Amino acid sequence: MSTPPPKSAKPAADADLSGRQLGDFQLLRRLGRGAMAEVYLAEQCSLKRRVAMKILRAEFAGDPTYLQRFEIEAQAAASLVHANIVQIYEVGHIEQWHYIAQEYVQGQNLQDWLARNGPPDVPHALSIMRQVASALAKAAEVGVVHRDIKPENIMLTTSGDVKVADFGLARLTRDNESNQLTQVGITLGTPLYMSPEQVEGKPLDPRSDIYSFGVTCYHMLVGSPPFSGETALAVAVQHLKTQPKPLEAIRPDLPPALCRLVHSMLVKSPDRRCASAREIVREVRRVQLEYGGEDLPEDLPGWDSLSGEYPADPRIAATRQLGELMKTLAMQQPKRRRWWRYAVGFACAFLVGGAIAWFALAERSLLAGAAETAPSFPTAETAEQQYLSACRFGTEEAWKSVIQHFSDNQLYSGLAREQLVLLYLDKKDTGRALSYCGELIGMGGDWPDYVAFGWAGRSVAYAYDRDNGKSEQALNQYSKLEADLKNPLMKQLVDIVRTKNRPTREKLVPSLEGEAGNKTPESPPPE
């Protein structure tokens, strides 16, 4: 960067530059403001592409300290070329305007996504974790500490990819390159997600980012950070002294290995904390292998940077061989139960209150607010990518695209059918809800969780139609598989149905028990 302009040339504070032309960039509209810079959506005229332009705020343009920090941010971010990191295209200044032109990510950040959808299901959460950890592994590799990992800085694209944004607080840690600039009066980092060593003002290394990422994962899985308080100091003290409530106590449906991994990132002492982001990528993959087994594709986002380390794991090699086999042959042997598959639907758990009111008043919708309008859904490279893309929108078209393009992948097509059942129940379209319940029941003994969900959904749909007799018959079939249902929302709905159907049950249960005898659950009758 060149010598800063004289203060007489400093632009007016808070000026909206929308509509201005800065060199090759046409500023279209202001997207937001940060502590140091404003961000604009811009068109790079020569390449005809949209970019995000970060422009140093006017009040800092004549201050060498801020210009130096801005330059360090650009250097740190530009050194990180990775699929899961927002890319820097150009750095420079035109007249008095200092800017960074970077990749424009279409989508929303994780904070906004959580506020709208609640915690993601476990496959979705693991995908986010894998990709963010891969980005942090790349940052550590080139000696960069992000220092502000939080949900707002994790971007979820409409295609299912995840990108880490805003290296505005990044610090270079390569030999003799550590930068010690301190912005007086502004805390570096966000108190809700700061590491203990960051709170204490100690030197930081990539393990600080791991702690902040652990807090972010905890927030993602639970719906709120592990610590809260009325002041930043109150939160900071908890990072130093208080242990977070065990994840397994809040989310017993989560895979135990996932809970252990998150808590290993939240250890107070850096020396005892999870050692590196590379280790997190490996552990996430192990969780996916253990609970995803042969259904897990090998070429998923976030694995490329560590690909050289995987062949030594015999489970990886076996998965690769099975992956090739499954392209032409459907696996017929019974599949073991997988905790992460059972967790589908937790993203909708925050709607339980609405569900209670739905049955009480018979009018209220289960879903709070309409889902974001989704574009058409072309075929993704893998079933998981198709499913994760559908998770971004939660629309009928999105879920149907999984079934349409990957009908032979029972894992993800089953997940999509579950979501369609919930969607149709919300729309009071019990006919289509019952149809997909029948498809889930028809998946048979290899997928007991789907069968249980199907019978449970059928009991709820009939209860909504006020056909308590059929609802109770479906509930009787579901009770034989109740232990296999791990979906928290559907469990709550079934509990409501049981209460609502109690008078009918007292009449029907003796005859139902006599008819059922020792029979296995019946095949779904035509709807």
Backbone angles phi, psi at 336, to 5 degrees: -70, 155
Helices 396-405 and 383-393 cross at an angle (nearest 10°) of: 170
> Do 127 and 384 contact (CB within 8 A), yes or no?
yes
Backbone angles phi, psi at 259, to 5 degrees: -60, -45
> Do 25 and 44 contact (CB within 8 A), yes or no?
yes
CA atoms of 411 and 426, how far apart (whole Å): 23
| Residue 212 in tokens | 């902040």
CA atoms of 8 and 508, how far apart (whole Å): 86
> Do 374 and 395 contact (CB within 8 A), yes or no?
yes
CA atoms of 86 and 132, how far apart (whole Å): 11
Per DSSP bridges, beta strands 37-44 and 49-56 are antiparallel
> Do 454 and 484 contact (CB within 8 A), yes or no?
no
148 as an active site residue: the answer is: yes
Taking alpha carbons only, the member of 213, 166, 169 closest to residue 32 is: 166
Q: Which of 112, 121, 148, 484 is catalytic?
A: 148
> Do 156 and 391 contact (CB within 8 A), yes or no?
no
CA atoms of 119 and 65, how far apart (whole Å): 40
Please list the active-site residues: 148
